[in-house]
């Protein structure tokens, strides 16, 4: 344990947006507590911002402000660089440059790690200088440390998570308040839960970046971004949510990570899914996140909490700063990613298996259901149940089918055949049904 006589540990902070301001605020707020627990003061020496003239709710001391990221690299007194600028270009250069100079890095940048983590952790390993990234996944939930440390004695069998608060809020409001997608999104933007450009959230890629990080930590090798299946919530309608409810299900955007022991393949996908109303994840609402992990020793464990926001995310950053401070004093521990190479390549999505929800808008005429059933039967896909509600117009009928377990590739092939039927009037809607 370091002595109280050591000088403060100097930190360079890149980015002073919502999370960066929270880090600054909460470091000051709990300075004494942190000193007691890690035996040393944490002091921000330099803050890099894009626009020094911008009016902020929390104003950084002007004496600390810079517009040059290079200042964090060139100042030899700075021992820890906190990267909160986002993106994958400038952030990569900053993190790589810091590691090459022996500076410890703390980042909350999920896209950077998912897309270029392999390169950065190679530099970290070569320089024996760690990267900490608790804030990159699930905001204030300590899920990275859990996978790396608490579950170190487990083979991770599966991870299923609600890991995007924006999508969860939108789907919650569509379910509970009967809003359509556009109105729920507008409400999320008004409340600050969604960005003015919400694309990365609603198209599933924010959750996908987090899933890639969790899968890579769990299985010891980096999962390529082009080898996972990603769908967003843009096509989820209030009608589908209502049909799911009639069938006893809730719609959630899920990240699914699963090991297939027979061939050591890793299944990684993100998509809107139906889950049983009785399942614990179905009760996770609003902007909250929840992650369900199954290990071969521990069994099933659930982690729940705020997945975003200034204070929860800054709590994770400060936790990493405390770990970085202890590492700087003791130089013990790993560099952030421990490769263990026990598993093979990602499972092709067409080989993944689940049940399915299928809604088809078809011409209201005799024999339509038989045509649909014939196509599914020709592909070996069983039908578990059918709903054909009477609340439709006189020309088009909604037919909702729950399909038995089948590979995704088989279902996609059948879907292409269904689109060709003259009686099918609109693009069919397909969602997974997860047993979890």
**Looking at the DSSP assignment, which residues form a beta bridge with residue 271?**
254
- CA-based angle 215:343:352, to the nearest 5? 65
Place of tokens 């942190």: 34
Half-sphere exposure of 425 (CA within 13 A, CB side): 11
CA distance 123 to 95: 10
Residue 223 and residue 216 in contact, taking contact as beta carbons nearer than 8 Å: yes
User: If we measure between CA atoms, which residue out of 13, 288, 313, 291 comes closest to residue 135?
Assistant: 313
391 three-state secondary structure:
coil
Tokens for 355?
């049940």
Residue 194: count of CB within 10 angstroms of its CB: 22
Q: Distance from first CA to last CA of the chain, Å, rounded?
A: 43
Catalytic-role residue among 210, 252, 345, 355: 210
- 345 noted as active-site residue: no
Q: Is 428 exposed, middle or buried (0-12, 13-18, 19+ CB in 10 A)?
A: middle
Helix, strand, coil abundance in the chain, percent, nearest 5: 40, 25, 35
Answer whether 32's CB lies under 8 Å from 351's CB: no
Return the SS3 of 176.
helix
Alpha helices in 222-350 (DSSP H): 238-246, 310-330
Q: Give Cα 33 to chain centroid, integer Å.
A: 31
Angle between helices 368-378 and 408-420 (to 10 degrees): 140
254: CB partners within 8 A, 6+ apart: 160, 161, 162, 270, 271, 272, 273, 275, 281, 432, 434
Q: Name the phi and psi angles at 430, rounded to 5.
A: -125, 130
Catalytic residues: 210
């Amino acid at each position: 344990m370091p002595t109280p006589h050591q000088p403060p540990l100097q930190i360079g902070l890149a980015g002073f947006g919502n999370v960066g301001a929270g880090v600054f605020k909460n470091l000051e707020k709990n300075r004494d507590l942190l000193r007691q627990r890690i035996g040393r003061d944490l002091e921000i020496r330099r803050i890099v911002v894009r626009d020094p003239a911008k009016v902020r709710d929390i104003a950084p001391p002007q004496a600390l402000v810079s517009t040059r990221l290079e200042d964090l690299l060139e100042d030899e007194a700075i021992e820890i660089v906190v990267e909160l600028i986002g993106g994958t270009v400038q952030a990569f250069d900053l993190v790589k440059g810091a590691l090459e100079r022996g500076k410890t890095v703390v980042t909350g940048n999920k896209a950077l790690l998912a897309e270029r983590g392999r390169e950065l952790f190679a530099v970290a390993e070569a320089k024996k200088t760690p990267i900490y990234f608790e804030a990159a996944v699930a905001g204030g939930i300590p899920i990275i440390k859990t996978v790396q440390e608490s579950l170190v004695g487990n083979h991770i069998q599966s991870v299923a998570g609600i890991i995007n608060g924006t999508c969860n809020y939108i789907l919650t409001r569509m379910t509970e308040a009967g809003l359509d997608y556009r109105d729920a999104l507008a409400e999320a933007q008004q409340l600050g839960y969604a960005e003015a450009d919400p694309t990365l959230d609603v198209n599933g890629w924010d959750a996908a970046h987090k899933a890639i990080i969790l899968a890579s930590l769990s299985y010891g090798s980096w999962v390529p971004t082009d080898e996972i299946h990603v769908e967003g919530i843009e096509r989820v309608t209030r009608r589908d949510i209502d049909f799911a409810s009639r069938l006893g299900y809730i719609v959630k955007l899920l990240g699914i990570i699963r090991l297939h022991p027979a061939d050591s393949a890793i299944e990684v996908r993100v998509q809107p899914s139906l889950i049983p109303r009785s399942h614990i994840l179905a009760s996770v609402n609003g902007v909250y996140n929840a992650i369900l992990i199954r290990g071969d020793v521990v069994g099933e464990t659930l982690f729940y909490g705020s997945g975003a926001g200034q204070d929860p995310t800054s709590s994770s950053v400060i936790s990493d700063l405390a770990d970085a401070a202890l590492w700087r004093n003791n130089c013990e521990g790993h560099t952030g990613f421990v490769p263990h190479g026990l598993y093979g390549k990602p499972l092709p999505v067409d080989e993944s298996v689940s049940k399915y929800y299928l809604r088809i808008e078809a011409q209201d005429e005799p024999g339509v259901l038989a045509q649909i059933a014939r196509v599914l039967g020709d592909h070996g896909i069983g039908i578990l149940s059918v709903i054909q509600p009477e609340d439709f117009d006189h020309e088009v009928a909604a037919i909702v089918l729950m399909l038995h377990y089948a590979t995704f590739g088989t279902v996609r092939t059948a879907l292409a055949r269904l689109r060709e039927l003259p009686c099918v009037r609109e693009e069919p809607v397909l969602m997974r049904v997860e047993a979890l």
